[in-house]
Amino acid sequence: MSPHHSPADRHLDRADAAHLDAIEDDSRHVDLLVVGAGIIGLAHAWHAARRGMSVLVIERDERAVGASIRNFGHICTTAQAGLAREYALDAREEWLRVGSEAGIPVRTDGTLVLARTAAELAVLEEFAAGRDDEVRMLTPGEAASLAGFETPGLLAGAHLPNDLRVDSPDAVPALARHLADIGVQFRFGENALEVTGGFVRTTRAEYTADSVVLAVGHDVDRHYPDLAEQTGVQRCRLRMLEIDAPDGIRTAPGVFTGTSLLRYDGFASTEAAARLRAELTESDPELLEHTVNLMFTQRPDGRLVIGDTHHYATTLTPFEDEELDDLLLDRFHRLFGAEHLRVRRRWRGVYAAAQSGPFLMANPEPGVAVATVTSGIGMTTGFGLASAVLDEFVLAPHRA
Ligand SMILES: Cc1cc2nc3c(=O)[nH]c(=O)nc-3n(C[C@H](O)[C@H](O)[C@H](O)COP(=O)(O)OP(=O)(O)OC[C@H]3O[C@@H](n4cnc5c(N)ncnc54)[C@H](O)[C@@H]3O)c2cc1C
């Protein structure tokens, strides 16, 4: 097949183009071939390049436009539990490292959690008691001051200072550019059609590699349907909106509310979480019905990214009720105590979800590793997951 530059190559600067050219000169064999240029694919490329491996990333779109650029950019280390917490702690260090190397702004303002009911406060207090070095409880005055706005009925707050934040639509392409600068090769606009041990055929070319990592997010079933079915991987769709900040508020940390306390395992595993769930079932069942996580982050230009709802299916219906955006906007009206919220942009995001656990890491055949985050925390954990996948599925088999 003839070598071909996709139009997407134009998105890369000259330094990147030099790396792209390199693949045309050699035998199209690399140590590691990564399919997917979302955060999970890029995290694998980052770790592999740092370990001295030659790496090629193949992405079907002209640039990554999946979950990794549609999210809050919230690196929510503190509220994780178990393996997710381990990966999140690793990932936090990597974000700080790559941020400083690549000039990607990584905000270190943490997360602010607002408690507006006694049940929410009880979850926060129980969580804080077990993590007193990572959580600072706040009076209503302190919480309002950190939030930058007064919210009706505020009882207390908590600051999680270790959490980070990036602006994903800028950070993810900036990470790809940095990887190109350190020698990672990219082929955008090539859909991987066939992936087998050490071999990938795309819509434009064929490649061989010592190892392949499939980092295609929720599309893992397009390549390994049995694996996806056995592990119960579905698609989860989220609704997101971008609004003008009411009264021009500036809120440095990411902001969580009561629903977030049911969403992240660190909070949700407290005993008090059961009471909060019962309370919400009574007081605002719609939030539970649509698995709402009412949270926001602020973009560098001041707009707020607000969300979100969660709906799960293997094949998602294309039809969506406008009432869901109304629901989100109504609850944000209440949070901000604002008369009017001006919506600037709306979008949907999809990520992989599974009841079986937060990660799908598998070796469906020799020479291929599958790496998918199945719980909507890929920005938080991706770098940690990638390091583990490389160790276990890519490097260990070659050592044996
Ligand atoms: C709305 C929303 C909000 C979120 N908020 C947060 C948050 O604040 N914090 C957090 O930690 N996580 C958050 N998440 C989750 C996080 O965004 C995901 O876990 C993460 O982005 C998944 O990364 P990924 O690389 O696996 O997937 P993606 O970003 O979807 O990337 C997969 C890539 O693979 C490519 N691809 C697929 N098939 C092929 C093929 N055959 N050939 C070539 N390329 C292919 C796709 O084009 C895509 O670019 C959120 C997710 C959404 C949707």
> What is the whole-number distance in angstroms between the Cα of residue 39 and the centre of ligand 1?
7
Confidence band for 400, pLDDT divided at 50, 70 and 90: low
Report whether residue 216 contacts ligand 1, using a CB cutoff of 6 Å.
Answer: yes
Helix (H, G, I), strand (E, B) or coil at 83: helix
Ligand 1 atom at shortest distance from the alpha carbon of 379: 11
> What is the whole-number distance in angstroms between the Cα of residue 170 and the centre of ligand 1?
15
Residue-wise DSSP of 99-152: HHHHT---B---EEEEE-SHHHHHHHHHHHHH-TTT-EEE-HHHHHHHHTS--T
H/E segment holding residue 69: helix 67-70
For the cut 70, the answer to whether the pLDDT of residue 284 exceeds it is yes
Q: Which amino acid is at 282?
A: E
Report whether residue 62 contacts ligand 1, using a CB cutoff of 6 Å.
Answer: no
Nearest CA owner, ligand 1 atom 53? 349
Alpha-carbon gap, residue 358 to 82, rounded angstroms: 10
Confidence band for 132, pLDDT divided at 50, 70 and 90: confident
Report whether residue 16 contacts ligand 1, using a CB cutoff of 6 Å.
Answer: no
Judge whether 7-68+168-231+357-399 and 111-161+234-353 match in fold. no
Alpha-carbon gap, residue 361 to 368, rounded angstroms: 11
Nearest CA owner, ligand 1 atom 20? 378
Determine the residue of 39, 56, 71, 345 to mutate for testing ligand 1's pocket, defined as the one with the most ligand atoms within 8 A of the Cβ atom: 71
For the chain, the structural domain boundaries read 7-68+168-231+357-399, 111-161+234-353
Q: Quote the longest CA-to-CA distance of the chain.
A: 66
Q: Which CATH architecture has domain 7-68+168-231+357-399?
A: 3-Layer(bba) Sandwich (3.50)
H/E segment holding residue 212: strand 206-214
Confidence band for 27, pLDDT divided at 50, 70 and 90: low
Report whether residue 367 contacts ligand 1, using a CB cutoff of 6 Å.
Answer: no
Alpha-carbon gap, residue 329 to 70, rounded angstroms: 18
Ligand 1 atom at shortest distance from the alpha carbon of 381: 11
Q: What is the mean pLDDT of the chain?
A: 93
The per-residue pLDDT for 18 is 42
Mean pLDDT, residues 311-319: 96
Report whether residue 308 contacts ligand 1, using a CB cutoff of 6 Å.
Answer: yes
For the cut 90, the answer to whether the pLDDT of residue 309 exceeds it is yes
Residue-wise DSSP of 328-371: HHHHHHHHHT-S---EEEEEEEEEEE-TT-SEEEEEEETTEEEE
> What is the whole-number distance in angstroms between the Cα of residue 226 and the centre of ligand 1?
21
> What is the whole-number distance in angstroms between the Cα of residue 157 and the centre of ligand 1?
31
For the cut 90, the answer to whether the pLDDT of residue 396 exceeds it is no
For residue 113, give every residue at least 6 positions away whose Cβ sits within 8 Å of its Cβ, in sequence order, or none. Answer: 124, 157, 158, 159, 160, 255, 256, 257, 260, 261
Report whether residue 157 contacts ligand 1, using a CB cutoff of 6 Å.
Answer: no
Helix (H, G, I), strand (E, B) or coil at 32: strand
Helix (H, G, I), strand (E, B) or coil at 31: strand
Q: Percent of the chain at pLDDT above 70?
A: 93
> What is the whole-number distance in angstroms between the Cα of residue 333 and the centre of ligand 1?
29
The per-residue pLDDT for 226 is 97
Residues 244-273: b if buried by 16+ CB within 10 A, e if exposed: ebbeebebebbbbbbbbbbbbbbbbebebb
For the cut 90, the answer to whether the pLDDT of residue 166 exceeds it is yes
| Structure confidence by residue, pLDDT tens digits, 205-221 | 999 999 999 999 999 99
- According to DSSP, residue 320 is labeled -
Query: Rg of the Cα trace of the chain?
Result: 21
Length of the chain: 400
Report whether residue 375 contacts ligand 1, using a CB cutoff of 6 Å.
Answer: no
> What is the whole-number distance in angstroms between the Cα of residue 119 and the centre of ligand 1?
33
The per-residue pLDDT for 213 is 98
CB 370 within 8 A of CB 364: yes
Report whether residue 60 contacts ligand 1, using a CB cutoff of 6 Å.
Answer: yes
The per-residue pLDDT for 386 is 98
Report whether residue 64 contacts ligand 1, using a CB cutoff of 6 Å.
Answer: yes
What does the CA dihedral 263, 264, 266, 272 come to, rounded to 10 degrees?
-10
Report whether residue 108 contacts ligand 1, using a CB cutoff of 6 Å.
Answer: no
Nearest CA owner, ligand 1 atom 27? 217
For the cut 60, the answer to whether the pLDDT of residue 15 exceeds it is no
Beta carbons within 10 angstroms of residue 107's beta carbon: 20
For the cut 70, the answer to whether the pLDDT of residue 17 exceeds it is no
CB 192 within 8 A of CB 11: no
Residue-wise DSSP of 225-291: HHHHHHTT-EEEEEEEEEEPPGGG----SEEE-TTHHHHSHHHHTSTHHHHHHHHHHHH-HHHHHTT
What CATH class is the domain 111-161+234-353? alpha beta
| Structure confidence by residue, pLDDT tens digits, 246-270 | 999 999 999 999 999 999 999 999 9
